[in-house]
Chains A and B, each alone.
Chain A
Amino acid sequence: MSAPNLKIEDLRVSIEDKEIIKGLDLEINGGEIHAIMGPNGTGKSTLSAALMGHPKYEVTSGKVTFNGEDLLEMEVDERAKAGLFLAMQYPSEVSGITNADFLRSAINAKREEGDEISLMKFIRELDKKMDHLEMDNAFAHRYLNEGFSGGEKKRNEILQMMMLEPKLAILDEIDSGLDIDALKVVAKGVNEMRSPDFGCLIITHYQRLLNYITPDKVHVMMQGRIVKSGGPELAQRLEAEGYDWIKEELGIKDETVGQEA
């Protein structure tokens, strides 16, 4: 299996006729971990939702290929089957479907009919991954995210990632709402996946998570595009100094989308 590649070129995304992503370029390869940082309302979640194919977000121009294939042509489920994964900032709750049933459906969706994962094997895998994430087994039998605390939802997103073994995962604020122990556990989950066959895009506000998952590249997003890229040291400087120096450097007054430089 070849290493994954996600290539975004001059991407523009609108929601309800308001342009949010305004010409964004980014390439992520297998083995790489990228982090996107940026103030609130600069389009980070919009980017991740558009890549996953959220129906509300309209890609107005640009090109995205995933392993050479046109990602934007694919349905949401096809993107997932191609190996893309999005840990959402606000995961949905679905009543009446247990976490375990949901995960099994998701795993089987990727497999051929007649080649479904055996229940035994599924349970073994699930137990192992839940142990790894220090999740109580009761979560397997609870309804999907229903009544989960903020941190529990995040852990559950990582559990899904580990069970589904995507080639490229986008983690949108996976660290928000996590206590320090949970943060370590989640980082452990991501690090466990690290390999040349796995790429990752981490959206975060804090250096904290990046202490545990060292990124290869750090990007800063403002006004719906990437305005600065660098190595791990960039995240450290942002943590220490905030965004003002970048705004000054680039002559940006208001970093949120809808404001032009």
Chain B
Amino acid sequence: MSVDTSLRFDKDYVNGFSSSRQEPAWLQELRLQALELAQNLPMPKPDKTKIDKWNFTDFKHEATGNAVAFNELPEDVKALIGSEEDAKNVLVIHNGTPVYFALEQEVKEQGVIYTDLLTAAKEHEDLVKKYIMKAVATDENRLTAIHASLFLNGAFLYVPKNVELSAPIQAVYYQDDEAAIFNHVIVAAEDNSSVTYVENYLSTNDSAESVANIVSEVYAGAGAKVVYGAVDNLAKGMTTYVNRRGRAEKDARIEWALGQFNDGNTVSDNTTHLIGDGSFTDTKTVTIGRGDQKQNFVAQIFNHGKHSEGYILTHGVMKDSASSIFNGITKIEHGATKSHGEQTERVLMLSEKARGDANPILLIDEDDVTAGHAASVGRIDPLQMFYLMSRGISKAEAERLIIHGFLAPVVSQMPLESVKNRLVEVIERKVR
């Protein structure tokens, strides 16, 4: 099968689409420029995964969802956000349309902005302009350009200076139409602020071919702390490109906990730039590959600032004939003295036919640093199985426990109890 990689969407389409949504002129302009770039830029080249036959360009673009009351939300979504009383700060986007929103008065009063991205583009133009497509550049590759020209909506979360939010901010992106998911998230935490954001991607279409093209941009100002939790659970029909990018200024912290459980082919890039001195990031990813899906995960940290510290931990379970490449990249730039980088990639193989590659890469342009890595690809340890079974636990249950244990580093980090529980359920379903 040859794949036509030309984009079906032209200038007229983007103009019309943007106008119909009453977007501000600057956004329309951004889209048009991106569209032009999209025609000529090369596709991203994930190391060791061939994606030239993957469809990222042919899809139904738009769908609609309808605003609903809390109790009309689908059960799957409700399970993620808990009861109406629990769901204090949450945005639900259904088929690209914001359909439910709640934000505590107390949070608003502190000057926090949390809203869907299009609303933010109209109401907080300067802020959105400051951040959109800045951590991830439009001209980075063809998919980022397509993203900028066609993103449908997303979330905008802005936390002013010195505001420390204890309650997590939640988003659910839910798709039950065969249309594409083009979602854009911005989390901007000003100096010395602190925020936790947790998102869930959910889709039901496992037959029709569709595309998810997702970009998240996270900005942590000096001394700020951002905890970013995500559970991706897109059905088989979606071919996914997801790019989550962070920039940490002086003494800032970004902590990622990513549960990546898509069923379709996926290219994931999670990169953090440790810009400021003393900045810190910890990026934890878990995934399960099943069926014949192919996935490529990049977890990447650039140490620019002195005394910056970056940690990567990736655990992947591979079953059936799934195949995944895990590339961990620690890049310590010249001048980033006293920096530290550490990474661990572990792959647990459950089937003979599955494939899993762990590639830790350390690129170091500075002498005065410390760095280390560990990688392994292996099967379930028969001694562990013997130990568990010797306590009466069945073979199936023992395997289940070991797999859950293997994925625990991210599960235990997930900030919201409801999301954590769902994550466990997703894992349960996928390893069965």
Given contacts A76-B386, A92-B383, A94-B387, contact A81 B401 (CB under 8 A): no
Q: Is B364 an interface residue (CB 8 A)?
A: no
Question: B383 — which chain A residues lie within 8 A by C-beta?
Answer: 92
Q: Is B132 an interface residue (CB 8 A)?
A: no
Q: Is A55 an interface residue (CB 8 A)?
A: yes
Q: Is B391 an interface residue (CB 8 A)?
A: yes
Q: Is A60 an interface residue (CB 8 A)?
A: no
B375 CB to closest chain A CB (Å) equals: 16
Chain B residue nearest in CB terms to A87? B390
Asked if B381 and A92 sit within 8 Å, CB to CB, the answer is: yes
B390 CB to closest chain A CB (Å) equals: 5
Chain B residue nearest in CB terms to A106? B391
- Cα distance A101–B408 when bound, in Å? 13
Asked if A54 and B395 sit within 8 Å, CB to CB, the answer is: no
Q: Is B384 an interface residue (CB 8 A)?
A: yes
Question: B406 — which chain A residues lie within 8 A by C-beta?
Answer: 95-96
Asked if A77 and B394 sit within 8 Å, CB to CB, the answer is: yes
- Cα distance A91–B392 when bound, in Å? 15
Asked if A94 and B401 sit within 8 Å, CB to CB, the answer is: yes
Question: A122 — which chain B residues lie within 8 A by C-beta?
Answer: none
Q: Is A201 an interface residue (CB 8 A)?
A: no
Asked if A109 and B397 sit within 8 Å, CB to CB, the answer is: yes
Q: Mark B379-411, 1 if CB is under 8 A from A, else 0.
A: 001111011111111110110011011111100
- Cα distance A164–B246 when bound, in Å? 49
Asked if A77 and B409 sit within 8 Å, CB to CB, the answer is: no
Question: B389 — which chain A residues lie within 8 A by C-beta?
Answer: 53, 75-77, 80
B10 CB to closest chain A CB (Å) equals: 50
Q: Is A160 an interface residue (CB 8 A)?
A: yes
Asked if B405 and A96 sit within 8 Å, CB to CB, the answer is: yes
- Cα distance A75–B383 when bound, in Å? 15
- Cα distance A105–B405 when bound, in Å? 13
Asked if A75 and B405 sit within 8 Å, CB to CB, the answer is: no
Asked if A80 and B391 sit within 8 Å, CB to CB, the answer is: yes
- Cα distance A95–B386 when bound, in Å? 15
Question: A209 — which chain B residues lie within 8 A by C-beta?
Answer: none
A82 CB to closest chain B CB (Å) equals: 9
Asked if A86 and B388 sit within 8 Å, CB to CB, the answer is: no
Residues of B that sit less than 8 Å from A by CB: 381-384, 386-395, 397-398, 401-402, 404-409
Jot down 15 A-B pairs with beta carbons below 8 A, ordered by A.
A52-B390, A53-B386, A53-B389, A56-B382, A75-B389, A77-B394, A80-B389, A80-B391, A80-B392, A88-B390, A94-B401, A94-B405, A97-B402, A101-B401, A106-B391
Q: 14 additional contacts, CB 8 Å, given A76-B389, A109-B397?
A: A53-B389, A75-B395, A77-B389, A79-B390, A80-B393, A85-B390, A86-B390, A95-B405, A96-B407, A96-B408, A97-B404, A105-B393, A105-B397, A164-B392
